[in-house]
Each structure stands twice: as structure tokens, then as C-alpha cells.
Amino acid sequence: MFKRVLVANRGEIAVRIINALREMGIESVAIYSDADRYAVHTSSADYAYALNGNTSLEAYSNIEKIIRIAKAAGVDAIHPGYGFLSERAKFAEAVEAEGIKFIGPKSEIIRLMGDKFEARRFMLSLGVPVVRGSNSIITNFEEAKEIADIIGYPVLIKAAAGGGGMGMKIAYSEEELKKGLEAVQKKALADYGDSSVFVEKYIERPRHIEVQVIGDNYGNYVHLGERECSIQRRHQKVIEEAPSSILTDELRKKMGDLAVGIAKAVGYNSVGTIEFIYDNGEFYFLEMNTRIQVEHTITEMITGIDIVKTQIEIAAGLPLRFKQEDIKLNGHAIECRICAEDPFSSFMPSPGKIIEFRPPGGFGIRNESGVTAGYEISTYYDSMLAKLIAWGNDRAEAIARMRRALQQYVIEGPKTTIPLLWAIMDNEDFKSKNISTKFLEEHKELFEEAKKFADQTTTLVNLSKIKE
Ligand code: ADP
Ligand code: ADP
Ligand code: MG
């Protein structure tokens, strides 16, 4: 097993990985930007190295510097977390070239799956269903129009290198296609240095369902069931749950077998996620994320398997400890992403100092955060402050527990998405499983309803309620 591991990330996921390392008896090495000198991940690790000399924005993406620190700190492996360098094949290669283990899959797989178009083409060759769309990269409007005319509007223009909900535009007409194509190409070139885009049929009210897969270095593959992540804003996940509330056992098995088949076909040797879009009893491959995912926690809650520890064990060369028949799903889990954003002003980021920070606890509640009182939220990074996870024997119990915990979550200082999440837990369509990726757009009233919760979240200690 590794003796010392560098965590090339920040925030809640860095803390999550450091916790796993500590439980495994492995020393942890954190890296921190100027803005993160007083962050939780910096003080949680056994050692912490400054990334100074870089702006805070670029610090966690500096391959050369991170490898230099890894060598100076004498680590035997690097965990990339999610975002930042986690899906950069070049980083995985540079790490391994120094004789340091990259905690993730082989770099060829990262490269293949990092390009949405190549991944789509590969899936077609395996006979995996994909959404109807282009069979080649689109270079000009005529090509885009030709495909849109065949598959029909609306269409989705996607950057091959996109991720995190970025680099996508919907077009309902020829004019929108023309404008959207230019915009996505331009953004893709600026953000990823690659202007490759393709066009897909835009499915209007789908559900997002994904399968957690695991492969080791000895040809063992399992899946840990699915997660549903249909509650989204701007193609980004807001609430996730496991299992999905719509899959039948038959479809669950079909999707799980297909996901394992894909993992086998590429010789996948880490933990990963295969994302599908579900519409009317049919599902289509969206993309594969070759890293730990934000919402891995809910799968852990219903399987009892620590996915981060498993990922580290596989990278260290251990075989999988369990087989498919050992995986039993127990109960229901929901995750809410708590972001420093104002849900009442189009989710505008709300940076600033956190005055008070008291996450809830109690049976079935799990909190994963990378901040504490006194921490100053900057505008450099993702706005997610914490993830709140509720487990219940069934979906209704998980919802009631989540609602209770959201009510008890005290964050003073920045505005957060807690009031909106709370309102969603009370929503009849959410409770009766009537959801899709359009849920928030179709429930504008939630933003009104959330207002009544906005003042309640921080009034848990309400002195007027205390009777002498
Ligand atoms: P998950 O299902 O794990 O949430 P996401 O695609 O939402 O997957 O990405 C997780 C994190 O990584 C988010 O913080 C997101 O902003 C970031 N991310 C992933 N890929 C990219 C990318 N290509 N460009 C920018 N950010 C990304
Ligand atoms: P990212 O790398 O940004 O996560 P994905 O391909 O996973 O990109 O898509 C992100 C989200 O965008 C999906 O969860 C879904 O809500 C939406 N989406 C993607 N493709 C389609 C499609 N063809 N039709 C409708 N929605 C889609
Ligand atoms: Mg995705």
C-alpha cells in the first residue's frame, strides 16, 4: 500500500480524500493556493505545500509545479479528485513518468473518454445506444444545418472537450443553430484550445441516470447501481438520488450490464461513471467520467462501499474485494449540493466571509464540506461549499430527513442555495417522482416558495422560543 499520497485538489473532495487516506493509515499531502491558506483541506492533511507563484485561479492546474511538490514531499501516488487535472491524460502521463502512481484509470482511457465525440463514436462501434446526431465533427454551419434538418429541432450543440455543464447550447431554429454554433466553437477554443463541436438531438424532458462502475487491474468488473441526477440548473446537477425513482429492476439490470460491458471493453481499471440520458423507457449514452464523481456519496450510503478507498486500493494494485453478487442496495439516499449562490438572483455567486458554519447531524445525515467559520469564499473556484446527504429506509424517509437537516444547516455570511433545496423537498412533483432535467425551469414557483425559508435557516437558535 502507498505510504504517502498527494491530493491535487481543494475543497470538500480534498477533505474527503484526506479522510480516506487517514483511515487507511496513509499520510496525506495537501497543496494550497494563496486563497486557500486557511482552507479546511490545508489544515486537515499531514503536510501542506503552498502553490505560490501562481494566481489562485491557476494554482491547482499547474502540472509542473504539482509534480515538483510531489517529488519534494516524497509521495508514491497522486489523487486528482474531480475537476482541475482529474481528466487530463497529459497529467496522468506526466505523473507516471516520474514513477508516481496516478490514482485513476490508464491515460489512454482518460484521453478517449475526455473527448465526447470520440467516446460517442466508440460507443456506436460497441452497439451502445447514443442520442441521434452527427457522425463527424462539425466544421461549418452547412454541415450543422444538414444534420439538424435530418434529426429535427431542437438540437444541442456540444463541445467535444466540454465538461461541468459548460460548452453546450440548445438551438430551436436555424438562426439559433447558426449563432449557437459560433458561440460554442469560440468558447471551446478559448476554454479547451479545441474548437471541435458536434450536434445531437435535444431531448426535451429527459432524466439523467448514471451508473457507478469499478474495474481493477485483474479483469474484475462490477457496478454499484445507478444514481439519478435529474434536478439540474444550466446542465449542472443540484440534487442527486440513489437508486433512481423511475428504473424498473429490468431496466436497472440492462443499464448495469451495459455499463459493465463498456468498462470491460476499454479495460477500465479504476472507479468511473457512465452517464445516460433516459427518455420514455429508452436510455442513451451521454459520456463517461473517468474520475471520482461529486455524488459518489449516495452510492456509498446505499451499498456500504467506500468508493474513494476502493479507488486507492485499485491504484495500489490490490484486487477488488467484492463481486457483483455481493452488492446489495439498502434504502435510499439523496444528496443536495449547497452552493454559495443567490438562488433569487439567477444563482449569482455570493463570495465573502463565512461568519457562522454549523452543519447538521443525527441519524442518516452526512455532511461533506471544505469550509468553516472564518473562511473567506473567493470567486476563483466552483461555488459548491458542501454536500448534504440523507439516507432513509425509503425515498420518503430520506426526503423528510433531508428537509429536517436543511432546516438545521446554519451558514451565515454568503447567500446559499439552502432555501431552494428546502422548497424542493416540499414540492409535490418531486415527492411523487415526477421529475426531469427541466424540473427547475418548469417550477418557477419554487423560487417564490423558497423565500419563506430564506430567513428560517439561520434561526434555529431562536431565543423567543425559550420559555423562562
Ligand atoms: P459530476 O457529475 O461529478 O458533478 P461534473 O461534470 O458536474 O460531474 O463535474 C464535476 C466538477 O468538475 C464540477 O466542479 C465541474 O465544474 C468540474 N468540471 C468537470 N469537467 C470540467 C471541464 N471540462 N471544464 C470545467 N470544469 C469541469
Ligand atoms: P458534461 O460533461 O457537461 O456533464 P453531459 O454530456 O454529461 O456534459 O451533459 C450534461 C447535461 O446536459 C445532462 O445531464 C443533460 O441534462 C444535458 N444533456 C446532454 N445531452 C443532452 C441531450 N442530447 N438532450 C437533452 N439534454 C442533454
Ligand atoms: Mg456529465
74: domain CATH number? 3.40.50.20
pLDDT class of 52 with cuts at 50, 70, 90: confident
Q: Mean per-residue pLDDT for 126-147? A: 96
Q: Is 61 in the pocket of ligand 1 (CB under 6 A)?
A: no
Atom 15 (ligand 2) nearest CA: 235
Q: How far is the CA of 83 from the centre of ligand 1 (A)?
A: 5
Q: Is 277 in the pocket of ligand 2 (CB under 6 A)?
A: yes
Q: Mean per-residue pLDDT for 275-304? A: 97
Cell numbers that stand for 327 in this block: 452488492
- Ligand 2 pocket test: which of 153, 235, 382 has the largest number of ligand atoms within 8 Å of its C-beta? 235
pLDDT above 70 covers what percent of the chain?
A: 97
Is pLDDT at 256 greater than 90 in this prediction?
A: yes
Burial class for 261, CB neighbours closer than 10 Å (0-12, 13-18, 19+): middle
Question: Could you tell me which residues come within 8 angstroms of residue 320 by beta carbon, excluding any fewer than 6 positions away?
Answer: 214, 216, 218, 220, 222, 310, 314
Q: Is 382 in the pocket of ligand 1 (CB under 6 A)?
A: yes
Domain boundary pick from 201, 222, 248: 201
Q: Is 286 in the pocket of ligand 2 (CB under 6 A)?
A: yes
- Domain residues for the domain of 361 are 207-462
Whether 291 sits among the annotated catalytic residues: the reply is: yes
* Cα separation values, 16 from 9, 21, 28, 45, 64, Å: 11, 9, 11, 11, 24
d(CA 6, CA 34): 18
Query: Looking at the domain assignment, is residue 125 inside a domain?
Result: no
Say whether both 221 and 184 belong to one domain. Answer: no
Say whether both 338 and 366 belong to one domain. Answer: yes
Residue 143 and residue 155 in contact, taking contact as beta carbons nearer than 8 Å: no
In degrees rounded to 5, what are phi and psi of residue 384? -70, 120
d(CA 371, CA 393): 30
Q: How far is the CA of 287 from the centre of ligand 2 (A)?
A: 8
Is pLDDT at 466 greater than 70 in this prediction?
A: no
Say whether both 382 and 318 belong to one domain. Answer: yes
What pTM did the predictor assign? 0.96
pLDDT of residue 465: 62
Residue 272 and residue 289 in contact, taking contact as beta carbons nearer than 8 Å: yes
Does 319 sit behind a cis peptide bond, omega within 30 degrees of 0 on the bond before it? no
For 428-442, write each residue's pLDDT tens digit: 999 999 999 999 999
Q: Is 164 in the pocket of ligand 1 (CB under 6 A)?
A: yes
CATH code of the domain in which 232 resides: 3.30.470.20
Query: Looking at the domain assignment, is residue 110 inside a domain?
Result: no
Is pLDDT at 79 greater than 80 in this prediction?
A: yes
| Tally of CB atoms within 10 A around 188 | 22
In degrees rounded to 5, what are phi and psi of residue 202? -90, 115
Q: Mean per-residue pLDDT for 105-122? A: 97
Cell numbers that stand for 214 in this block: 469499478
pLDDT class of 458 with cuts at 50, 70, 90: low
Say whether both 159 and 177 belong to one domain. Answer: yes
Query: Looking at the domain assignment, is residue 372 inside a domain?
Result: yes
Q: Is 437 in the pocket of ligand 2 (CB under 6 A)?
A: yes
The tally of CA atoms less than 13 A away on the side-chain side of residue 274 is: 33
* Cα separation values, 302 from 59, 213, 394, 460, Å: 36, 15, 11, 30
Q: Mean per-residue pLDDT for 32-47? A: 97
Residues with CB under 5 Å of ion ligand 3 are 275
d(CA 162, CA 316): 30
Ligand that lies nearest to the alpha carbon of residue 233, given by its number in the listed order: 2
Query: Looking at the domain assignment, is residue 67 inside a domain?
Result: yes
Atom 23 (ligand 2) nearest CA: 202
pLDDT of residue 54: 80
The atom of ligand 1 lying closest to the CA of 191 is 24
Say whether both 87 and 219 belong to one domain. Answer: no
Q: How far is the CA of 293 from the centre of ligand 3 (A)?
A: 10
